[in-house]
Structure 1
């Protein structure tokens, strides 16, 4: 089997409750038939142009030979280092595909100047940049393209031979790239960004890096018929019911890689589900965990655990008591992509929301652009301790005078059914260990804790933070820029851009009544020890 699922406890009860009506209402076949009415009248216009992912395998087949031919052509020129400039769904799927396949791909989904500079200085002479943007106007991706064009020209290299574009047909990027002579791959415009794993957005960078993308499509094709049939063995119907149909709703979804061969897959699921369901005050918040995460021993009533295992059936038999009440899934990567996409839109139907829009993502972008245009002076920190500047949105700090006190103060704002979200606007390549603060906060808070690298999470889980239940508290971790990277033909630098993105998001969260604590490392590497001590 290319995919297996086992459910028990509340998840099994949810499946038993919803599966018969989903089958009777022909939901699976209606999705496959591109029926836009499944999510209500208000969603019809959006759904009518967002179901193309169900046809990704067939639509993407002709791309395989084209990608492989281009890969061979590039390798013959000694161009073996593939860099991907993309955000959200444009970068998360290729990252999972290449890491699972053991293939190198440099993913540049940041505006942190140090991370940008590190990418620019890495094997430029053998680098090809893939620029992926559905709209063609994403500020991060546009800025990354501009700085690479400048670096290539400064090195005496014609960018036309080194930059490949993936975008929707007719987008501003499509028009300008073709006029400039760049090689362009057009994606299916009827696929939303987070559902684009099996489209050109997932396949082009992965295939150029060396992945057998034809095999990935084969894996997805093996599950397509089962997903299209209206019966009680349909894994998409089962998974969608299990994650969205519990009573009361277990609206935190713990994703635990437990022996799976898939690398980084929960990060892709996180953006798919959070951005699709987090709206109208409801939604499901994915929480990426490991096998020793504090949340797993807390017995939290609103946390549903999903374990990604190598074979769900064998794992269930061997660990029947240990995993009672959990959802166990296993399968090939291509099959997993497609099953989770079906499950997510089915969850949207159960929750009564439109799984294809993202009304609150744009708010942070608008706030960032406003700050870039007006350039207000930075707000002074409330206090500075151990080289860490402390700022806050909300009246929760009280008499706090240390970073530890500030963290305790914001954790005191977490409601009984709440969560903590940590946003790290730092160089994630240079400071990967920073993600370890998630475990410390989870142990301290006794509640689910998410961790996101800024600004990439703004294109995914950022939707849930504003549009989902108003029960989150937020901790931003920033680093002072030690140097700057100029963006050609733009009136702002990368350092100014990431600062505006962090401040803009904090402002929007505050406008939604969410408390935000901002911690800025003035000497990033030196301050890390103090930061970990404060969180511990």
Structure 2
């Protein structure tokens, strides 16, 4: 008989193993311990699984088998592995369970340490794990935190066997024992069989000495106590056990066959090499207890352990040790509280490590199905990003984000705007609805589908339209998000109204632009098809909005509802993106399944270091806050080029406020390193098979010169859906790092209010109020508010000279923005783009080229509310011909003019450096060429 056998045979102390691993079970090693050494139980915890899963390849085949069939959440992959191991170990120990009549033969599985401070979630998790394992000889492990103790009582009352973990204090142990008795009494009173419920109270040993010895060293003069406190503490806990389980309330349960809750000695491997390696086994041997040993301690005790009835030796000495400890000024209860906190954190750290390992293996096995992400940030920025990522891990911030905890940000109302986190699952649940709509549209022969919207309601569909392209047999998807009368005409001229479906997209239903678009095209459609006009329209809007009422009144074909808890810029994976995509023949199931891969990759159980959304957001935030690299420059391969415009509005509108934020730069062709300052952060979205070799080389040049570059690799365009979610998570994280609320848009609202005020006044008076130009000639008039006018008044007059002085206001780390309230077309872009690049190349500043009013609902927020580093040149023009709006006194020309003035007014109120150049006479191209030439001359 070995020393291990003797513990139970001679002293009724059960030996449990503090270890589990797949190969260990599969190879028969666990069974051999049962048969050879009389092993009577197994415990597990996150640290054990981290070693088993994270440091071996023996789980890879199981993971690969799941991922070859599809995908799964990281937490589900981990739990699938862990539960399978627990079930296999329980099956090996089943004979022990049966032969001991349920006293032994248990395997323990820990409730997630993330829930240690949440009673209700602990209860839910314990019940779920108990059901999932489906073995009578399972013990669910629950920590003895203040929040865990009521859960222990309730779970016992439900007949679930519990292993109480992280016990260090005698008083807490007594509370736990009472909770067990109370719970078991309730279970019996409800008719439960109390003989089938078992429990152990895991009293930790070596960790006490490790901490107390350190404290004794700091005190000095108490060397004789070192290495004795943990054993003394345990011996006195055992005396408490004897008293509690001799009381009348227990003997009544015992008479019904109940089994006493045993003390289990945990953490019995010695951590101090000066102590014997079997110390915490040999000194704690006593009846009706359990010693759970790590493999090394078990091997040592088998080899040279000494067996004697030690647990009740020298109780008086144990009391003296504890009294002397108190005299040394060390409070054992305070020590216990600290160790509980540290124990929870150690298990959290281990859980993060094992989930990170599973996340890494999942990513590897998914291969190119998951878009890649690699970062070359340079040592300093990488260090800052790593610190941010570790801070997020230590604070559990990604789990809190997913739990809608507004304190991740500013603690205002952020929790009300997180519906986008689960919108992909919602879309998959509603898949049949979208597919039925798509088939209906195709069957009726529509040739075009036009989205009428602004901001997030139009930019997401625009990416889908441009990237997925027109699909044979399906309507061509078009976007209208400009109130320029020429652009409205261009869209109308491109379609056959009788075969066109209009998708009116407005969350609130009160946004000016979608409403005037609807008024115009509904009026035109009535002229063409009469009473059937409503059948050519669908609405996408939030429930109970003004748009919903109007759609019902006008007989719209269908109304799709958005989610009120999702802001417009986060709405692309909701009905606002899915309805246009479905109408255009995009396979919604594949689209959402691809997005779902990134949802899982960025989920709450994926630690920040392995979480692509968190990693990107942390890098963006750290770059802006700590290194002044607040110009996020987006480079896209041909084929996904429009993604930058969507990402631009998401980042700008979310982060640019309170004088802080990130300025996204989209549409700048990548240049040589010499044309950039030190305020850039680059994101390169690279589409395999469509990548441009010159672009690849230019990006490598940026990397080689030390510019931070995040590279995102897509195998095919259909995986673009993943990037919507990655960037949403990243933007939310960056907002937290910057220290703002990424879900409001106060300055956009200010511009909307000013625009509505101006337009309403114009409808009453017949025109917008007159303005006095700073300077004007035959073709150009310049306008500025008082402060800007004074700043620009010094020097020679004239258009060119004034524009030159305005451009001359650019300083290092500023950015220049051209804001054109004109038709957005290739010709106008081709005129202004070289002027934009001339400013970049000459001044090494970031540049933006935007067309209004669409940018008002995106980058307009950052321009007004973000850092005051922008120099703005607004361009407006007399329309060549206005376009009337049915039901309104004034036409589109007044709408866009009011929007431009409203925008400019708020820029001025915010103290921005702004100048407006107005093209007179209707010859827009000539006016643009003159302005562009003036800009290029200014920086020559």
TM bin, normalised by shorter chain, reads: over 0.9
The residue aligned with 1:163 is 537
The residue aligned with 1:330 is 713
Range with greater deviation from structure 2 (220-229 or 259-268) = 259-268
Range with greater deviation from structure 2 (470-479 or 4-13) = 4-13
SS at structure 2 position matched to 1:367:
helix
The residue aligned with 1:384 is 776
SS at structure 2 position matched to 1:137:
coil
The residue aligned with 1:414 is 810
Deviation at 1:290, TM superposition (A): 3.7
Range with greater deviation from structure 2 (317-326 or 7-16) = 317-326
- Mapped to 2, the partners of 1:212 and 1:242 lie a distance apart of 33
Deviation at 1:263, TM superposition (A): 2.8
CA gap of 1:160–1:56, structure 2 versus 1, over 3 A, is same
Contact 1:479 1:521 in 2 (8 A): yes
The residue aligned with 1:397 is 792
Range with greater deviation from structure 2 (357-366 or 12-21) = 12-21
Please, which runs of 5 or more residues in structure 1 have no aligned partner?
none
- Mapped to 1, the partners of 2:662 and 2:621 lie a distance apart of 7
Which has the higher Rg, Structure 1 or Structure 2? 2
CA gap of 1:368–1:164, structure 2 versus 1, over 3 A, is same
Indicate yes or no: 2:399 matched with 1:29.
yes
CA gap of 1:86–1:408, structure 2 versus 1, over 3 A, is same
SS at structure 2 position matched to 1:374:
helix
Q: Pick from 157, 181, 187: which aligns with 2:555?
A: 181
Indicate yes or no: 2:901 matched with 1:534.
no
Indicate yes or no: 2:353 matched with 1:6.
no
- Mapped to 2, the partners of 1:284 and 1:253 lie a distance apart of 7
- Mapped to 2, the partners of 1:149 and 1:36 lie a distance apart of 42
Deviations 1:319-352 (A, max 9, x none): 7636753222223311111111111111111111
Q: Equivalent residues in 2 for 1:125-140 (5 A)?
A: 125-140=498-513
Indicate yes or no: 2:678 matched with 1:310.
no
Contact 2:632 2:663 in 1 (8 A): yes
The residue aligned with 2:238 is none
Deviation at 1:260, TM superposition (A): 5.9
Contact 2:817 2:847 in 1 (8 A): yes
Q: Equivalent residues in 2 for 1:35-434 (5 A)?
A: 35-41=405-411, 43=412, 45=413, 47-103=414-470, 104-122=476-494, 123-157=496-530, 158-182=532-556, 183-228=558-603, 229-246=606-623, 247-257=626-636, 259=637, 261-293=639-671, 296-310=673-687, 321=704, 325-331=708-714, 332-375=719-762, 376-385=768-777, 387-393=779-785, 394=788, 395-398=790-793, 399-429=795-825, 431-434=828-831
The residue aligned with 1:505 is 903
Deviation at 1:409, TM superposition (A): 1.0
Deviation at 1:535, TM superposition (A): 2.4
Range with greater deviation from structure 2 (303-312 or 353-362) = 303-312
CA gap of 1:514–1:248, structure 2 versus 1, over 3 A, is same
CA gap of 1:533–1:354, structure 2 versus 1, over 3 A, is same
Q: Equivalent residues in 2 for 1:468-487 (5 A)?
A: 468-487=866-885
SS at structure 2 position matched to 1:269:
helix
Deviation at 1:281, TM superposition (A): 1.0
Contact 1:135 1:167 in 2 (8 A): yes
- Mapped to 2, the partners of 1:427 and 1:521 lie a distance apart of 13
Range with greater deviation from structure 2 (144-153 or 47-56) = 47-56
Contact 2:820 2:851 in 1 (8 A): yes
Deviations 1:470-505 (A, max 9, x none): 221210111211111111222331101110110111
More helix by share: 2
Deviations 1:226-271 (A, max 9, x none): 21112411111110111011323311111112x3642311111111
- Mapped to 2, the partners of 1:373 and 1:290 lie a distance apart of 37
The residue aligned with 2:88 is none
Deviation at 1:435, TM superposition (A): 4.4
- Mapped to 2, the partners of 1:401 and 1:24 lie a distance apart of 60
Aligned residue-pair number: 530
SS at structure 2 position matched to 1:5:
strand
SS at structure 1 position matched to 2:776:
strand
Contact 2:836 2:848 in 1 (8 A): yes
Please, which runs of 5 or more residues in structure 2 have no aligned partner?
1-367, 471-475, 763-767
Q: Return the TM-score normalized by structure 2.
A: 0.54
Contact 2:775 2:797 in 1 (8 A): yes
CA gap of 1:411–1:528, structure 2 versus 1, over 3 A, is closer
- Mapped to 1, the partners of 2:440 and 2:561 lie a distance apart of 20
RMSD, matched Cα: 2.3
- Mapped to 2, the partners of 1:327 and 1:153 lie a distance apart of 50
SS at structure 1 position matched to 2:784:
strand
Contact 1:108 1:116 in 2 (8 A): yes
Deviation at 1:388, TM superposition (A): 2.2
Range with greater deviation from structure 2 (404-413 or 318-327) = 318-327
Deviations 1:304-330 (A, max 9, x none): 122222369x97997763675322222
- Mapped to 2, the partners of 1:396 and 1:514 lie a distance apart of 12
SS at structure 2 position matched to 1:155:
helix
Q: Return the TM-score normalized by structure 1.
A: 0.93
- Mapped to 1, the partners of 2:805 and 2:654 lie a distance apart of 31
CA gap of 1:407–1:230, structure 2 versus 1, over 3 A, is same
- Mapped to 1, the partners of 2:569 and 2:622 lie a distance apart of 22
Contact 1:386 1:530 in 2 (8 A): no
Deviation at 1:416, TM superposition (A): 2.9
SS at structure 1 position matched to 2:797:
coil
Deviations 1:20-76 (A, max 9, x none): 1111222222223333331132x2x2x222111111111112444333322332333
